[in-house]
Amino acid sequence: MSFEWSCWRWQEVAPATTQQQQAVDPAKNDEAMALALAMVASISNVFRLPTIQKSFMDHWTATAEKEAQIGDIMRHAPTDVKRVEKGTADLGLRLVARFYQVESDYYSWSYERRMLRMSAPSINHLCKTLFFENTRFTGNSGDILDPQNSKYYAVIVQYVGKLNSAKLTNFVRALSNGTKKNFNLRVASEAESDEFTGYKSGGVTPFGMAKNVPVIVSKAILDLRPPVLFLGAGHADWKVAVPVQEYLKASKSFVVDLE
């Protein structure tokens, strides 16, 4: 059974002429969009079936291993993407990780289009890694990346999910039983993110970071079915996906209710 939705992937087309643009019927355009969204919803509903989930994961495991062994996808990958690949290997995840090179305008697309491009089961499976800083950090151990009291945390959330900053701050504070006044988590500057992760915007990922930044995963990601998550892969034009439980076991990331 194949789960490559290649027939639904978006194809480049020639720009419409002025006459063609004028001939577009807004009602038909809205109807086409509604049909496309209904198709996406139908795909996601299919993946809720237990038998389909098992078949999907069996197919995933076989395909990921084959891609890793053949190596064609990664042959001309940028240096940062190859560092991500090594990061998955260091965690023992290379044979279950799948890499995708996407179009340069990927971030201008709708979540539905991104989902179809990578054959993801739903838009809920599309995740991102945010880099947070405790702006009131007063660590006294000399280690600003101590997981129990770090100045910085990489936080993995769904694109369509919520992130309650108060819950995030409270969790980090509870790790060291610290004083409330010494904790305020906010998204760090791009320069800090570059320094500690080694990746530019659009490519930030928990794999192969420049420094050993502790990672927090939104608990909602554990509910994904089938259980895979799609993330950045070191470069804005590259993505990586791994099974959720395998990643959590290998990375020892914190799992936190952030919604």
108-129: average pLDDT: 95
* Model confidence at 1: pLDDT above 50: no
- pLDDT value of position 49: 87
Q: How confident is the model at residue 43 (pLDDT cuts 50, 70, 90)?
A: confident
Task: Spell out the domains of the chain, with CATH numbers in brackets.
Answer: 1-259 (3.90.960.10)
Between 160 and 34, residue with greater pLDDT: 160
Residue 216, both tokens: 């927090």
133-147: average pLDDT: 88
pLDDT digits (tens, 9 = 90+) for 7-31: 334 344 445 455 544 555 666 656 6
* Model confidence at 152: pLDDT above 90: yes
pLDDT digits (tens, 9 = 90+) for 225-246: 999 999 999 999 999 999 999 9
The mean pLDDT value of the chain amounts to: 89
* Model confidence at 3: pLDDT above 60: no
Percent of the chain whose pLDDT exceeds 70 = 83
The residues with which 129 forms a beta bridge, in sequence order, are 156
Q: How confident is the model at residue 46 (pLDDT cuts 50, 70, 90)?
A: confident
* Model confidence at 115: pLDDT above 90: yes
pLDDT digits (tens, 9 = 90+) for 120-132: 999 999 999 999 9
Between 37 and 185, residue with greater pLDDT: 185
| 162 and 259 Cβ atoms separated by less than 8 Å | yes
Out of 38-47, 80-89, 205-214, which region has the weakest mean confidence (pLDDT)? 38-47
| 131 and 254 Cβ atoms separated by less than 8 Å | no
* Model confidence at 180: pLDDT above 50: yes
Positive or negative, the Cα torsion across 40, 42, 45, 46? negative
